[in-house]
Amino acid sequence: MSLWYKLRPYVMTVPAITVFILFFIYPIFYMIYLSFTSWNLISPVKKFVGWGNYVELLSSREFQQVIANTITYTFLTVLLTLIIALVLALWLNRKGFIYSFAQGAIFSPYIISLVSVALLWLWIMDPQYGLLNWVLKIFGLSPCPWLTHTDTALISLVIVGVWKTVGYNTLVFIAGLQNIPRDLYEAAELDEAGRWKTFYKITLPMLSPTVFFLLVVNIIASFQVFDTVQIMTQGGPVNATNMLVFYIYQYGFDFFKIGYASAAGVFLLIIVGIMTVFHFIFLSKRVHYR
Amino acid sequence: MKRLIQIFKILELAAVIAIILVFIFPFVWMLSTSLKSIPETLIFPPKWIPDNFMWENFVQAWSSGPFLRYFFNSVLVSISILLLQFLTMVPAAYAFARYNFRGKKFLFGITITALMIPPQITFLPVYLQMSAWGTLDSYVPLILPYAASAFGIFLLRQSFMQVPEEIIEAARLDYASEWQIMWKVLVPMARPVLVTFGLFSFIYHWNDYFWPLVMTNSDAFRTLPIGIAMLKDAEGGVAWNTVMAGNMILVLPILVVFFFAQRQIIKAFVYSGIK
Amino acid sequence: MKKIVVILLSMVLMVSLTACGSKKTVNVGESSAENDGSVEIDFWYSLGGKNGEVIQGMVKEFNESQDEVTVNATFQGDYYENHAKVLSAIPAGTQPDVTMIEIASIGAFAEAGALEDLKPYVEGENGINLNDFVKGLMGNSYWKDTLYAIPFNRSTPLLYLNRDMLEKAGLDPAGPKTWNELREYARALTKKDEIFGFSTPIDIWFYEALVFENGGGILSADGTKPAFNSPEGIEPVEFWQEMIDEGIMKRPPGEKYNAWDVARQDFINQKVGMIFTSTGSLNMLMEQAQGFEVGTAFLPAKKSYGVPTGGTNLVILSKSSSEEKKAAWKFIKFMTSQEQTIHWSKSTGYMPVRVSAVESAEMKKLYAEKPQFKVAVDQLEYAKPRPMVPGYKELQEIIMNEIQRAIIDDSISAKEALDAAAQKAEKLLK
């Protein structure tokens, strides 16, 4: 066995592994370390403050609101997206030009830049001249302040989030539906099972891996929301739409409280970490199903 | 009875069209706004077809900043990332798929861990790292952290693992080195996965706003999404017609590509996750 | 074959990465001067739109007028965004050489050691006459008795009036002179669902003005304690709340300067009859107002007239090389020269920063033709500098947030909001 033979696998994996260690693993440890310091980026001194940042974070009313906002946003976005996507998938899962066109149409927001979506909806939701309030007016309803009022701003962002990703979710559901073996449905027809029963007893259970997959993927993605917040509301009005990633960005790059921002980053890490672990447990289980 | 079915069908068709409209309307609105003059954008109820088609809005949007530079940067960054990912992905996936070596589990574990960590968590420490190295505001922070893709390695490894041993044995007879086997046999076999991944990665990085926003400060390195977002920062009232014109410039290429490659693109996104 | 292509492409990649890696090779500024021999400096500015174009024009003129210094000017967003970018660029070593700092934040930057002491340059061979600068504008140039900044685009808030609308409603086109008159005028001008009589961004700057007019202050004299949660500080918020509840005042939506944009847009579209905004928008507003006359007046008085000054001063960053700093000084000298400040003021509405400019024949002619331009200069008599202790940079946003909260949420009183802000202030100011 030549030396080269032994070294070969390492040489092949080293470039990728180096990137991962340098830019993924090491930064996590660096961030954890920073979370125990107080630093304003400019001074050369990083003061050690122990748990100080975490204490400040947990007792901060602002942070509590940020967590509440992020959880609310995630919950609403994921729920609405999955329900609408499932309905659309059941409905649009047919052959025919209009149906494939519809599938393409609802998927299109997913591949354009989130910046484009944010700018577009910022304009559509303009309280004075936007498309949405015009539509409301046609139906005789009073105009909505959308992004500009604390009560409606978060929901407005949810709407944008749902619009962007529902198409992707629908198509994944459709793929899942198409994977359900025909004979199951044929058997159900023979038993004269009604539509609802078929849905509950066959479709839903067979789709459950897909549901679970989408659930986790959507939750992780929603927790990471940033672009729409930064472009459409800047976390406002009065922190009504301030969410975790934006909060970290704000404290790191606007207020220069690096240690504090790192502590918030550790929070995000823990939350996303837990979710991803679920994801992987689920993934490995699925392999067994096959 | 037949009548009822017919009515039902028409209603259903109408509903499908309604759904399509919900998703197409905003784009139409975008186009309409991009061709208006400023006063026309500020009428309520809104006008759909502007009196004069103000094509100069597009010129205005394009010349509001060094857009050629932004475009060049987007292209350079996206393609460089793709290339580097490809170069690091293939050997790594091959090694994980077909070799046994000490520490394989550990190294693969590192890969999985990297897969789990999103940029929204690493941006602050990576920014500080780049700052300390003096490489902020260059192409380095935009490209290097993405030079390898854990997701890509994961996908490709699956694909390589599915190639039967006999084919590789046969190849060993034809080719002298593993290197050649890797590139000349396995890569062509994994083409669908590679194309899928390539599409996915390119679109993701082309559309990326967050990472370049954090890592660059000067126009020389900004990418297209940032340039477009900055359109709304003009003082003295947002000129929505210009912003939407700029938005059209950003969106149109992707929509055109989507129109022609719809099947592939959908397949890429939909199936890459499920695997 | 494929391998060769891949390797070639990678080489191209490496080459372009290193060659294009330096931002100094990209000429994104307006300069057309040659690079050899001249010192290149970076100027980050924070005015966009029309005013940004004027800046670009001035930079171009400077570059073309001499060949010792070449300025690369980059637009970085609004004041807040530019501050953030400068601060984050410093440890990375990518900071500019000269930039604009909003006056209330100069203390923060100076305290952090980011700014260069300008005294040697002022008194050196290439110096300027500080006495020629308007006294009322020099307050925010010093921190702890050291000179760090030279006034550039300076302003006061103004009350803008749609003169035609006022006349049609039978009101004095010169505008309201007191808070009560403002309320009455707003009532008379409001047409439900069509026109609001008055609008102002709920911004810290205008709040400061109202507090000054009410005989109060934002901070204690030594700058270590909050003073804004006194009755004098609470009344302005209540004043706004009352007018909004009555439906005669509009709160323009949007964060920070976005709200300013909405207010200006509404004024131009005649959806609002009177607004508060900066004198720096005067030229732009007069140009874009179609079909009505734009008038300007002092902010209406309560116990007296009173306004904070505003805008930015030019600073040199301390980390630049001495060659770059000398070049930056040359640039600052140009931008604040009598000739340039006259040009700047005429093109934007910001006040001329030099006494000799104010008294020049050219400006006198402008004031005679368009007296709107003189109002800010006259209002300087009642102006006070903005607080500039380092903690105020963050505190001003906290105060603004709390006031907005009280205005949006009916269940929160002005007093509660300001007390909440005062609590956080204690920590920031010590």
Highest mean pLDDT among A17-31, A217-231, B168-182: A17-31
* C-beta atoms of A41 and C113 within 8 A: no
Is a pLDDT exceeding 80 seen at residue B233? Answer: no
Under an 8 Å CB criterion, which residues of C touch A?
80, 84, 87-88, 90-91, 112-114, 253-256, 271, 394, 401, 404-405, 408-409
C-alpha to C-alpha distance for C56 and B132, rounded to whole angstroms: 32
Residue A210 touches partner B, C-beta closer than 8 Å: yes
What string of DSSP letters covers B20-66?
Answer: HHHHHHHHHHHHHHHTS-HHHHT-SSPPSS-SS--THHHHHHHHTTT
Is a pLDDT exceeding 50 seen at residue B69? Answer: yes
Q: Could you tell me the sign of the dihedral formed by the alpha carbons of C282, C286, C288, C292, in that order? A: positive
Over the stretch C253-283, which tens digit does the pLDDT of each residue have?
877 888 888 898 889 889 899 999 999 999 9
C-alpha to C-alpha distance for B240 and B61, rounded to whole angstroms: 10
Residue A179 touches partner C, C-beta closer than 8 Å: no
Is a pLDDT exceeding 60 seen at residue C308? Answer: yes
Interface test with B, best of C16, C28, C50, C51 (most B CBs within 10 A): C28
* C-beta atoms of B128 and A227 within 8 A: no
Residue A44 touches partner B, C-beta closer than 8 Å: no
Over the stretch C156-191, which tens digit does the pLDDT of each residue have?
999 999 999 999 999 999 999 999 999 999 999 999
Torsions phi, psi for C374 (to 5 deg) = -85, -20
CA-nearest of A48, A21, A20, A27 to A268 is A27
Amino acid C1: pLDDT: 42
Q: Provide the token pair at A173.
A: 């559901």
- CA distances to A103, A112, C98 from A100, in Å: 5, 19, 57
* C-beta atoms of B233 and C77 within 8 A: yes
Please, which residues have CB within 8 angstroms of residue A104's CB and are 6 or more apart in sequence?
A: B258, B262, B266
Residue B144 touches partner C, C-beta closer than 8 Å: no
C387-390 contact pairs (CB < 8 A, 24+): C387/C104, C387/C218, C387/C219, C387/C223, C388/C103, C388/C104, C388/C105, C388/C106, C388/C107, C388/C140, C388/C143, C389/C107, C389/C219, C389/C223, C389/C224, C389/C429, C390/C107, C390/C108, C390/C111, C390/C112
Is a pLDDT exceeding 70 seen at residue C2? Answer: no
Highest mean pLDDT among B208-222, C51-65, C72-86: C51-65
* C-beta atoms of B83 and C6 within 8 A: yes
**Nearest-by-CA chain C residue for B124:** C88
- CA distances to A69, A155, B49, B107 from A73, in Å: 6, 8, 36, 36
Contact list in A for residue B118 (CB cut-off 8 A) is: 220, 224, 272
Whether A109 and A164 have beta carbons less than 8 Å apart is answered as yes
Contact list in A for residue C271 (CB cut-off 8 A) is: 128
CATH number of C35-155+310-368: 3.40.190.10
Q: Which member of A26, A108, A171 has the closest CB to residue B255?
A: A108
Query: What pLDDT band is residue B236 in, cutting at 50, 70 and 90?
Result: low
Q: Is C252 left (phi over 0), alpha (psi -120 to 50) or beta?
A: beta
C-alpha to C-alpha distance for A58 and A35, rounded to whole angstroms: 13
Contact list in C for residue A260 (CB cut-off 8 A) is: none
Is a pLDDT exceeding 70 seen at residue A13? Answer: yes
Amino acid C5: pLDDT: 53
Q: Is the peptide bond preceding residue A237 cis, with omega within 30 degrees of 0?
A: yes
Q: Could you tell me the sign of the dihedral formed by the alpha carbons of B23, B27, B28, B33, in that order? A: positive
Residue B237 touches partner C, C-beta closer than 8 Å: yes
Q: Tokens 């679920």 correspond to what residue? A: A278
Highest mean pLDDT among A140-154, B36-50, B250-264: A140-154
Residue A200 touches partner C, C-beta closer than 8 Å: no
* C-beta atoms of B143 and C21 within 8 A: no
Whether C105 and C314 have beta carbons less than 8 Å apart is answered as no
Is a pLDDT exceeding 50 seen at residue C31? Answer: no
Is a pLDDT exceeding 50 seen at residue C27? Answer: no
Across A147-151, C332-336, C399-403, least confident range: A147-151
CA-nearest of C366, C195, C201 to C292 is C195
Amino acid A187: pLDDT: 81
Q: Which domains does chain B have, with CATH numbers?
A: 2-59 (no CATH), 65-233 (1.10.3720.10)
Whether A111 and B203 have beta carbons less than 8 Å apart is answered as yes
Query: What pLDDT band is residue A288 in, cutting at 50, 70 and 90?
Result: very low
Average pLDDT for B26-36: 88
Q: What is the CATH architecture assignment of A44-289?
A: Orthogonal Bundle (1.10)
Boundaries of every domain in chain A:
44-289
Surface-to-core class of residue B14, CB atoms within 10 Å of its CB (0-12 exposed, 13-18 middle, 19+ buried): exposed
Write down the mean pLDDT value for chain B. Answer: 84
Torsions phi, psi for C215 (to 5 deg) = 80, 15
Contact list in B for residue A261 (CB cut-off 8 A) is: 124
CATH number of C157-308+391-429: 3.40.190.10
Is a pLDDT exceeding 60 seen at residue C20? Answer: no
Average pLDDT for C52-68: 93
Percent of chain C clearing pLDDT 90 (strictly above): 63
Contact list in A for residue B20 (CB cut-off 8 A) is: 101-102, 105-106
**Residues B25, B27, B29, CA angle at the centre, nearest 5°?**
70
Is a pLDDT exceeding 80 seen at residue C30? Answer: no
> Which 3 state secondary structure label does DSSP give C195?
strand
Average pLDDT for C185-206: 92
* C-beta atoms of C253 and A145 within 8 A: yes
C-alpha to C-alpha distance for C316 and C332, rounded to whole angstroms: 9
Contact list in B for residue A8 (CB cut-off 8 A) is: 95, 99, 178
What is the four-CA torsion angle of C215, C219, C220, C226, rounded to 10 degrees?
110
Amino acid A284: pLDDT: 66
Query: What pLDDT band is residue C408 in, cutting at 50, 70 and 90?
Result: confident
Amino acid A278: pLDDT: 78
Polymer length of chain A: 290
**Nearest-by-CA chain A residue for C257:** A234
Query: What pLDDT band is residue C37 in, cutting at 50, 70 and 90?
Result: confident
What string of DSSP letters covers chain A?
Answer: --HHHHHHHHHHHHHHHHHHIIIIIHHHHHHHHHTTEE--SSSS--EE-TTHHHHHHHH-HHHHHHHHHHHHHHHHHHHHHHHHHHHHHHHH-S-SHHHHHHHHHHHHHHHS-HHHHHHHHHHHT-TTT-HHHHHHHHTTPPP--GGGSTTTHHHHHHHHHHHHHHHHHHHHHHHHHHTS-HHHHHHHHHTT--HHHHIIIIIHHHHHHHHHHHHHHHHHHHHT--HHIIIIITT-STTTT--HHHHHHIIIIIS--HHHHHHHHHHHHHHHHHHHHHHHHHHHHHHHH-
Residue A236 touches partner C, C-beta closer than 8 Å: yes
Q: Is C100 left (phi over 0), alpha (psi -120 to 50) or beta?
A: beta
How many cross-chain Cβ pairs, B to C, lie less than 8 Å apart? 97
* C-beta atoms of B118 and A105 within 8 A: no
Amino acid C299: pLDDT: 95
What string of DSSP letters covers C373-406?
Answer: GGHHHHHGGGEEPPP--TTHHHHHHHHHHHHHHH
Beta bridge partners of C154: C311, C351
Average pLDDT for B170-177: 78
CA-nearest of B263, B197, B193, B274 to A107 is B263
**Nearest-by-CA chain B residue for C6:** B83
Amino acid A101: pLDDT: 87
Query: What pLDDT band is residue A283 in, cutting at 50, 70 and 90?
Result: low
Q: Which member of B88, B114, B243 has the closest CB to residue A119?
A: B243
Is a pLDDT exceeding 80 seen at residue B120? Answer: yes
* C-beta atoms of B45 and A261 within 8 A: no
**Nearest-by-CA chain A residue for B178:** A8
Please, which residues have CB within 8 angstroms of residue B239's CB and are 6 or more apart in sequence?
A: B38
Is a pLDDT exceeding 50 seen at residue A289? Answer: no
Contact list in A for residue B228 (CB cut-off 8 A) is: 113, 115-116, 119
Is a pLDDT exceeding 60 seen at residue A262? Answer: yes
> Which 3 state secondary structure label does DSSP give C203?
coil
**Nearest-by-CA chain C residue for A239:** C401
Residue A262 touches partner B, C-beta closer than 8 Å: yes
Q: Provide the token pair at A36.
A: 């125990």
Q: How far is C62 from chain A (nearest CA, A)?
A: 32
CA C420 to chain centre: 27
C-alpha to C-alpha distance for C264 and B38, rounded to whole angstroms: 14
User: Which stretches of C280-391 are DSSP H helices?
Assistant: 282-288, 322-335, 338-348, 355-358, 361-369, 375-379
Amino acid C282: pLDDT: 92
* C-beta atoms of B83 and C10 within 8 A: yes
Query: What pLDDT band is residue A8 in, cutting at 50, 70 and 90?
Result: confident
Boundaries of every domain in chain C:
35-155+310-368, 157-308+391-429
Contact list in C for residue A255 (CB cut-off 8 A) is: 394
C-alpha to C-alpha distance for A111 and B23, rounded to whole angstroms: 13
Contact list in C for residue A237 (CB cut-off 8 A) is: 253, 255, 404, 408
Q: Provide the token pair at C174.
A: 């010169």
At A96, which amino acid appears? G
**Nearest-by-CA chain A residue for B108:** A17
Beta bridge partners of C301: C178
Enter the pTM of the model: 0.83
Average pLDDT for B59-85: 88
Amino acid A148: pLDDT: 83
Amino acid C12: pLDDT: 57
Q: Which member of A101, A111, A123 has the closest CB to residue B244?
A: A123
Query: What pLDDT band is residue C374 in, cutting at 50, 70 and 90?
Result: very high
CA B72 to chain centre: 16
Contact list in C for residue B70 (CB cut-off 8 A) is: none
Over the stretch A86-125, which tens digit does the pLDDT of each residue have?
999 988 888 888 888 888 889 889 888 888 899 889 888 9
Across B146-155, C29-38, C369-378, least confident range: C29-38
Amino acid A147: pLDDT: 87
At B242, which amino acid appears? T
Average pLDDT for A58-82: 93
Residue B42 touches partner C, C-beta closer than 8 Å: yes
C-alpha to C-alpha distance for A128 and C265, rounded to whole angstroms: 11
Is a pLDDT exceeding 90 seen at residue C117? Answer: yes
Query: What pLDDT band is residue A279 in, cutting at 50, 70 and 90?
Result: confident
Is a pLDDT exceeding 90 seen at residue C146? Answer: yes
Whether C392 and C219 have beta carbons less than 8 Å apart is answered as yes
Surface-to-core class of residue C231, CB atoms within 10 Å of its CB (0-12 exposed, 13-18 middle, 19+ buried): exposed
